[in-house]
A and B are shown apart, each in its own frame.
Chain A
Amino acid sequence: GAVVSQHPSWVICKSGTSVKIECRSLDFQATTMFWYRQFPKQSLMLMATSNEGSKATYEQGVEKDKFLINHASLTLSTLTVTSAHPEDSSFYICSARYERGLYEQYFGPGTRLTVT
């Protein structure tokens, strides 16, 4: 149980284009989803938190107009990197929590984004 998937697992895009990453909870309904960014050999950095049907809450320093998050249903959240630049290249990981108030977060397998 508590399986989270991400699509695509890796993507290469050209500078200036936009790319969308999907995060799905496969066997549970996720009331809250989280998006993290991870640089090589570094820890996970929380970018934003989203609750189904609500606007995402972004961490300080994360540009909300650049990283668009949509949590349209209890099983799907999307992260769109708009006008991507090489410095946006990173490993993006989502996680999901299946009930408000619970602590556990279940992580997806991650998406490797490379911007050329």
Chain B
Amino acid sequence: GENVEQHPSTLSVQEGDSAVIKCTYSDSASNYFPWYKQELGKGPQLIIDIRSNVGEKKDQRIAVTLNKTAKHFSLHITETQPEDSAVYFCAAANYGQNFVFGPGTRLSVLP
């Protein structure tokens, strides 16, 4: 079955700097890769996703890149702000299959 790894487990950046979180997946059949942001005591919120027919997707300060050959995808947050501090989860899925989540990355943006 699918296995998703995520690095780093914790990440601290200065406000205004960029943050990058990387995930790798094992099942080459996976074709959908969402990223979720979870604040303390709340449910995950979808922030961006990408499908395997696209190499990059951007939404304001957030971007996701996908390398199908290497089976990894990354979340890029530019101009980080304190409100970006949260736990970020990546996931991988194939059509009709359930999500497999990574273990999460705790991002701290220091003012």
On A, residues with C-beta under 8 Å from B are: 4, 6, 34, 42-44, 46, 49, 93, 95, 101, 103-110, 112
- Asked if B44 and A44 sit within 8 Å, CB to CB, the answer is yes
- Asked if B32 and A103 sit within 8 Å, CB to CB, the answer is yes
- Asked if B43 and A108 sit within 8 Å, CB to CB, the answer is yes
In angstroms, Cα B103 to Cα A6, docked, is: 24
In angstroms, Cα B42 to Cα A109, docked, is: 5
Q: Tell me the total A-B contact number using a CB cutoff of 8 A.
A: 46
Interface size class of B (residues with CB under 8 A): 20 to 34
Which A residues lie within 8 Å of B102 (CB)?
A: 43
Which B residues lie within 8 Å of A106 (CB)?
A: 46
B41 within 8 A of A: yes
Which B residues lie within 8 Å of A46 (CB)?
A: 98-99
Which A residues lie within 8 Å of B77 (CB)?
A: none
Which B residues lie within 8 Å of A112 (CB)?
A: 41
Which of these, B41, B95, B98, B103, contacts A43 with CB under 8 Å? B103
Query: Given A46-B98, A49-B98, A109-B43 in contact, is the A103-B103 Cβ separation under 8 Å?
Result: no
- Asked if A110 and B96 sit within 8 Å, CB to CB, the answer is no
- Asked if B41 and A110 sit within 8 Å, CB to CB, the answer is yes
In angstroms, Cα B105 to Cα A72, docked, is: 36
The chain A residue with its CB closest to the CB of B102 is: A43
In angstroms, Cα B38 to Cα A109, docked, is: 10
In angstroms, Cα B43 to Cα A106, docked, is: 9
Which of these, A34, A49, A107, contacts B45 with CB under 8 Å? A107
Interface string of B73-96 (1 = CB under 8 A from A): 000000000000000010001011
